[in-house]
Amino acid sequence: MTTLDFKGRAAKALHDPQLTGALARAKGHFALGRAAAKARTPDFEMLRDRATAIRRRSIALMPDLLERFEARATAAGATVHWAADAADARAIATGICKAHGATRAIKSKSMATEEIELNAHLLSHGITPVETDLGEYIIQLRGETPSHIIAPAVHLTKDQVAETFRAAHTDLDPARDISERQALVKEARVKLREAFLAADVGITGANILVAETGTIVLVSNEGNIDLTASAPRLHIAIAGIEKVVESWDDAGIVLRVLARSATGQDMSSYVTVLTGPAQGDEVGPRTSHIILLDNGRSTLAAGNKAEMLACIRCGACLNHCPVYTAVGGHAYGGPYSGPMGAVLTPAIDGLTKDTANLPNASSFCGRCEAVCPVRIPLPMLLRHWREDAYAAGLPTRGERWGLGIWRALSTRPWAYRLTQWSAARGLRFVSWWQGGRIKRLPFAGRGFTATRDIAPPAAKSFQAQWRGRR
Ligand code: SF4
C-alpha cells in the first residue's frame, strides 16, 4: 500500500518509462478501435441516444426495477441478497462459501469485487480465489490492482508478464521460451484449466441485470466467464445496483454500444446469460446467489451526480483522457480510474484530502463526455466535486488564495484587464531577457517551464484582437 497521494503517485508514474511506453501503445489501440467501430456503424449516434435514454430511465426507476429483478430471479431459483456496503457484501459472499464448504474459488473480472476488495477477504477466511481473466490473473500474481477497467494489465509489457510467470510458475521448466504472447497465453491457459477443474465456487460480476426476467448478463472476450459461472456447482454474482435495466430490448442496446465503445467490436466475443441455477440435466451451477451492492450508489442517485450511475464501464473515457493516458490507473488509488474513476471514487470512498485531488486530474478538454456511449456529462460532474471539495475546505491554503484572487479579478473587468496587460508586458520582458522564448519562470510558474519553453505573449491580447475585428 503506497503512502503517496494522487499527486505523488502521478509524479512517480510520469517517471516510469515502462509504464508510459505501455500506456502510449494501449492508448492508440483502444481509441482507433472505437473510431473504426463508429465509422462502420452508421446509426452509432442514434444508438448512443437510445442507450443514454435507457440508462437514465433505468436509474430513475432503479428501486422499482430492482424489486422486479429480485422477484423474477427468485422465481427462477436464485437467492438475492442486498449489501448496503462493501463489508456487507464481503460477509455475505464468504458466508455463502462457508455454508457450502467452498475453499477454492475461481473469479471472472469484476470491478464490483475489486471495489469491495473481496480477494483479500476470501483469503483471510481460508478461501483461495484465482482470477481467470488473463489480465486479472497476471495482476493477481503480481499483487497489484487493475490499472484499467477493461484491460487490468494494460500497464505491463510482455517481458514483465514473462518475468511474473517465471516467478509464479516455479513447477515449470525454467528454460522454457515464453518470450512471445502466444506462449504466455498458452501457459496461463494450462494453469487456469487446473483452477477451473478444482473450483468449488465461481464468482462473477454482472454487466447488466435484466428486470423483466431476473437475468444476469455478462460479457467477455476470453470465454472464462462461461466456465466460471457454469463449471463449479455454486455461483455467486456480485453486481452494483445501478446495473439494472427494464427489458431485453434495453439490454440489447446497451450491449451494442458497450462493445463498440470498449474494444471496437460490434459485439463482445462471449455474451453469457444466466437466469437462476441450472435445472434438470442442464449444464451449470446447482445453486445461484446474487449480491446486489449499494456501497454509496443510493446516495449518489439522490444527489447532483446521479448521472454517473448510468456508466456501463466501457473504458472509453479512460482511453481518450490525456491525464489517464499519461499517468495510468494506479495513480488514481482505487479500482476505478480516469474521468469515471475521478467521479466514482469520492462517492464510494468519501471526499477526503486525497480523493478530492481526483476531480482536479482533468484538463476539462471534454473528450470523455464526447466519447461516452451514454453521454455522461463527466466534466460537469467533476466540477460538482470541485465545488464540494471547496465547500468542505479541502483545497490547500494556496489553492484557496489562488481561487479567491481569480474570483476577484474575473468579477472586476477593469482589474482583469490591468492584470492581463501587466502580466503580458512582464512576460514579454522575460522572453527578451531569456533570448526570445520564456525558458524559466519563478514561483508558481516554475513547474510550467520545467519541461518546456513558451513563446512570448502576442502584442495584442485575444480580447483586444476580437474587439478590433467586430
Ligand atoms: S463514464 Fe462513459 S465512457 Fe467512461 S466508462 Fe462509463 S460509460 Fe464508458
- Rounded to the nearest angstrom, the distance between the alpha carbon of 55 and the centre of ligand 1 is 12
Residue 310 beta carbon below 6 angstroms from any ligand 1 atom: no
Each residue's pLDDT tens digit, 386-400: 999 999 999 989 889
Give the burial class of 438: count Cβ atoms within 10 A of its Cβ; 0-12 exposed, 13-18 middle, 19 or more buried.
buried
Biggest CA–CA distance in the chain, Å, is 85
Q: 364 pLDDT exceeds 50?
A: yes
Residue 394: CB atoms within 10 A of its CB come to 18
Given a cut of 60, whether residue 96 has pLDDT beyond it is yes
Task: Count Cβ atoms below 10 Å from residue 362 Cβ, excluding itself.
Answer: 22
Distance 313 CA to ligand 1 centre (A): 5
Say what the pLDDT of residue 3 is. Answer: 65
Cell of 349: 470512498
For domain 33-297, say whether CATH 3.40.50.10420 is its number: yes
In the predicted model, is pLDDT for residue 1 greater than 50?
Answer: no
Ligand 1 pocket residue status of 373, Cβ below 6 Å? yes
Q: Which regions of the chain carry the CATH code 3.40.50.10420?
A: 33-297
Rounded to the nearest angstrom, the distance between the alpha carbon of 54 and the centre of ligand 1 is 15
Q: What is the pLDDT of residues 178-227, one digit of tens each?
A: 999 999 999 999 999 999 999 999 999 999 999 999 999 999 999 999 99
**45-54 mean pLDDT:** 98
Residue nearest (by alpha carbon) to ligand 1 atom 8:
314
Nearest ligand 1 atom to the CA of 312 is: 7
Would you say the CB of residue 80 lies under 6 angstroms from ligand 1? no
Pocket of ligand 1 contains residue 10 by CB under 6 Å = no
315 lines ligand 1 (CB under 6 A): yes
User: How confident is the model at residue 461, as a pLDDT?
Assistant: 87
CA of 290 to the centre of ligand 1 (A): 24
> Is the distance from the beta carbon of residue 335 to the nearest atom of ligand 1 less than 6 Å?
no
Mutate which of 148, 243, 257, 317 for ligand 1 pocket (most atoms within 8 A of beta carbon): 317
Query: Atom of ligand 1 at shortest distance to CA of 343?
Result: 1
Q: Say yes or no: CB of residue 258 within 6 Å of ligand 1.
A: no
For 312, 357, 368, 383, the CA distances from 377, given in Å and listed in that order, are 14, 19, 8, 10
Least confident of 27-31, 164-168, 245-249, 346-350: 27-31
What is the residue with the minimal CA distance to atom 2 of ligand 1?
A: 372
pLDDT digits (tens, 9 = 90+) for 25-37: 877 889 999 999 9
Question: How far, in Å, is the centroid of ligand 1 from the Cα of 395?
Answer: 27
Q: Is the CB of 309 under 6 A from ligand 1?
A: no
Residue in 337, 293, 334 with CA at minimum distance from that of residue 112 = 293
450 CA to middle of ligand 1, Å? 33
Q: How far is the CA of 340 from the centre of ligand 1 (A)?
A: 6
- Report how far ligand 1's centroid is from the alpha carbon of 122 (Å): 29
Sign (positive/negative) of CA torsion 76, 82, 83, 88? Answer: negative
Residue 338 CA, ligand 1 centroid: distance in Å? 9
pLDDT band at residue 53 under the 50/70/90 scheme = very high
Mean of the per-residue pLDDT values of the chain: 95
Nearest Cα residue to atom 6 of ligand 1: 311
Alpha-carbon distances, residue 29 vs 19, 35, 264, 320, 442 (angstroms):
16, 10, 9, 11, 39
421-450 pLDDT per residue, tens: 999 999 999 999 999 999 999 887 888 888
- Percent of the chain exceeding pLDDT 90 equals 89
Query: What's at 441, amino acid-wise?
Result: L
- Average pLDDT, integer, range 2-25: 86
| DSSP state letter for 138 | H
Q: How far is the CA of 196 from the centre of ligand 1 (A)?
A: 31
Average pLDDT over residues 162-186: 96
Residue 159 scores a pLDDT above 60: yes
Would you put residue 282 in left (φ > 0), alpha (ψ -120 to 50) or beta? beta
Q: Which of 127-131, 281-285, 410-414 has the lowest mean pLDDT?
A: 281-285
* Confidence band of 453 (pLDDT split at 50, 70, 90): very high
Q: Whose CA is nearest to atom 7 of ligand 1?
A: 311
Rounded-to-integer distance, Cα 218 and Cα 225, Å: 7
Q: Is 257 in the pocket of ligand 1 (CB under 6 A)?
A: no
State in Å: Cα 68 to ligand 1 middle: 26
pTM of the full structure: 0.91
Which residue from 52, 255, 340, 362 has its CB within 8 A of the most atoms of ligand 1, so it is best to mutate? 340
